[in-house]
Chains A and B, each alone.
Chain A
């Protein structure tokens, strides 16, 4: 049995032996082990109200039933899981203190942090932890996170401070899965009340550093400091007003005129509009998000691999990135920018990354489309980058004879098409937490184990994904995922275009906000106002 004792920071050797997640930490280097929620400030003052402008209003604040990224960004401050997703790719203990792993790597015995209280005032015990994870992993309860927890077969409370988690097959990504994207620990029996789901939008029942104070539609969500928070001395802010601003024009004007203290810009190129304004600081951070073109094989002629390769060869990712986000990001191959160092395949090992019009035309001719063909690109309303990117893509594909029509749809319509695997040729915009299994498996493994939204049905890729999930040796695991990415680049179920940087604009009084690469607002738990 391996024992992981993690007092505050993680034992790197233990993780190297276990999950391979520490590769990233080794690469990032000198900073050493990451700190929870970002670096602790020196000389921080407690108190004050922070006004943060949000362009996307969270559709709800229920971490169990609401998948929207706009929800996650906020609720990570309110609800906590057992582990924290450090930017370096390690799963740091959060409500857990450490865990023991059985020899067959199927049973995790997790020791819980003591002295944790819910926002309701009651103390957290193992019973609450078991309840929360058992609730979310049962698909009948309707959580979008249920699929992520499918490998868990049982969660039991051993005593007040210990839970035992059993999984069906070794899975190197389990601790990362027990993070903060979905769910979190809530009091046992919370969802027994049929109205409980919707009540989460009015009063929070988490253990996080902030409590929900009010959530007014089309206006604001206000969080206040949790006085019973288990980490001593934090958070520093008394109150955070998340103000929902319906358009970038008002947001930028608000930043200039100090109506807003801090905002992350959805479109990095907006930076130009606030650059040079006295009293505003702009910071760029790499991200885990990716903008991609998906090629659903259910749409003819995208079922022909040669056609997909031809499209990949016609796409100039850099030009699309410059047009859609003003170049403020990183062109990527098959891995999001924030994880390229730890998990990405080197660009020179990937096929179909360089523009080659002649080769693309040849492939199309071989596939029986010497004069090209008509294709419809679906973009999502409200995703600004897609509008500009669509225009550029149309020009690029035109060079190989593909006549592109652009169809904009509502998010709801798009999601429905996506889930029913009828998405065809579309832009996609998604983010991940720092683990390749969580990034790739569900999207690209063939059904029924994965969802295979693009009808890729690739056996070689699926086999590699299975191997990568089980493998615990970090070097071997990395090698498996590099080979997987080569398959993906060769067969082109998707074309990953670029990761847009997170761009944070803040006023001078805002101190120590560190943007997490997920785009979530963890950093506010360490922010203070001077």
Chain B
């Protein structure tokens, strides 16, 4: 298992490296850079040249990349060109917001989605199933940002309430923090709950038709035992995979929801660093996203084995 993990990590590192090269070339292939934005429309060419030198933008791209990579390997992601703060700190605090958002969404989506899915499976083909399926379809079809927008306006016009706009971390004020993230989490969770419930329903329905369940029932085991001992274990693996998938989806959805609800998360940081052409922040932010996605996938693969020792890792 150790060898397997090492191999996977090595492969991930190669992919991350390739990704960083692609991003590096991409951002430098388009016109416009941070200096143009800093100096505005009427600036002096001498001043522009001086600032480009300061940021190292006058050097050939390969050398810029080599310099960047060298520093990153030494653990230094540099300083933001527009903010003067260490990139690590900026990305770190933004990541904290996004992770909280993702975690809360995952919890809420699971809490809604799994029971609904089980309910639908138990009543397969009957009214509760139909209702849950309709919810699933609507949840999957509605655009997340549209739900967010409608929630925002609905709350404001019905209850004269809207979330606070200045972000407060959880450890500073729990109530303030929760009232900030409630609507974004709800908008994200509706979609994911639908996906969850859909998935759980299907897994159970197809498992119910399989031999081992039939055998267990035939042996006279109680419904509850069959359900918990056999069924849940057998849908456990796909469920974990699915959780990983959802987590990565939430990460993507966060970009849009953070912009709508003024949350200082990773998605908004990426957007603003693209806008201001703050390359060090953009590079680091994207690298973090990629690494997280890979880690999630790795954890998912590993948990296969923990849940079900029969799975061989190859």
Contact = CB atoms under 8 A, between A and B. Distances in A.
Interface string B240-284: 000000000000000000011110110011001001110000000
The winner among B32, B36, B166 for most chain A CB atoms within 10 A is: B166
B160 A257 contact: yes
B79 A249 contact: no
Nearest to A69: B40
Contacts of A410: 32, 275
B210 to A, nearest CB: 49
Interface stretch (B41-49, B58-66, B190-198, B213-221): B41-49
B304 interface: no
A218 interface: yes
A68 B40 CA distance: 6
B50 interface: yes
A453 B41 contact: yes
Nearest to A148: B42
Contacts of B265: 218
Interface stretch (B112-120, B148-156, B294-302): B148-156
The winner among A218, A260, A442, A451 for most chain B CB atoms within 10 A is: A218
B273 to A, nearest CB: 9
Interface stretch (B2-10, B81-89, B227-235): B81-89
Contact of A60 (B36, B43, B84, B262): B84
Contact of B276 (A59, A147, A253, A413): A59
B70 interface: no
Nearest to B84: A198
A65 interface: yes
B45 to A, nearest CB: 8
Nearest to B160: A257
B46 A144 contact: no
A140 B36 contact: no
Contacts of B262: 218, 243-246, 250
A443 interface: yes
B50 A200 contact: no
Nearest to A382: B275
A144 B30 contact: no
B40 A253 contact: no
B83 A215 contact: yes
B165 A217 contact: no
B161 interface: yes
Contacts of A219: 166-167, 264
The winner among B51, B262, B275 for most chain A CB atoms within 10 A is: B262
Contacts of A442: 42
A59 B37 CA distance: 9
Contact of B46 (A139, A201, A259, A260): A139
A245 B84 contact: no
B279 to A, nearest CB: 12
A416 B32 contact: yes
Given A256-B156, A259-B164, A197 B40 contact: no
A60 B83 contact: yes
A414 B277 CA distance: 13
Contacts of A430: 41
Nearest to B38: A66
Given A66-B38, A415-B37, A59 B162 contact: no
Contact of A143 (B30, B47, B85, B149): B47
A144 B42 contact: yes
Contacts of A250: 152, 162, 165, 260-262
A277 to B, nearest CB: 10
Nearest to B265: A218
B94 interface: yes
A419 B83 CA distance: 24
A197 B50 contact: no
Contacts of B161: 257
Interface in A374-415: 382, 410-415
A245 B165 contact: yes
Contacts of A412: 31-34, 36-37, 277
Contacts of B40: 67-68, 144, 415
A413 B31 contact: yes
A218 B269 contact: yes
A523 interface: no
A53 interface: yes
A57 B271 CA distance: 13
A250 B162 CA distance: 9
A189 B234 CA distance: 70
Interface string A234-254: 000000010111110111011
A220 interface: yes
Contacts of A53: 165
A399 B17 CA distance: 55
A57 B156 contact: no
B83 A147 contact: no
B90 interface: yes
Contacts of A249: 149, 152-153, 260
Contacts of A382: 275
Contact of A257 (B156, B268, B269): B156
A140 B47 CA distance: 6
Contacts of A201: 82-85
A300 interface: no
A453 B162 CA distance: 45
B51 A142 contact: yes
A530 interface: no
A2 interface: no
Given A141-B50, A144-B44, A68 B153 contact: no
Given A68-B38, A68-B40, A147-B47, 9 more contacts: A142-B48, A201-B83, A218-B269, A219-B167, A245-B262, A249-B152, A257-B160, A412-B277, A442-B42
The 4 closest A-B pairs by CB, nearest first: A198-B84, A412-B32, A67-B40, A139-B46
13 contacts: A68-B38, A142-B48, A144-B39, A147-B44, A197-B54, A197-B84, A201-B85, A216-B264, A219-B166, A220-B166, A246-B262, A415-B39, A415-B40
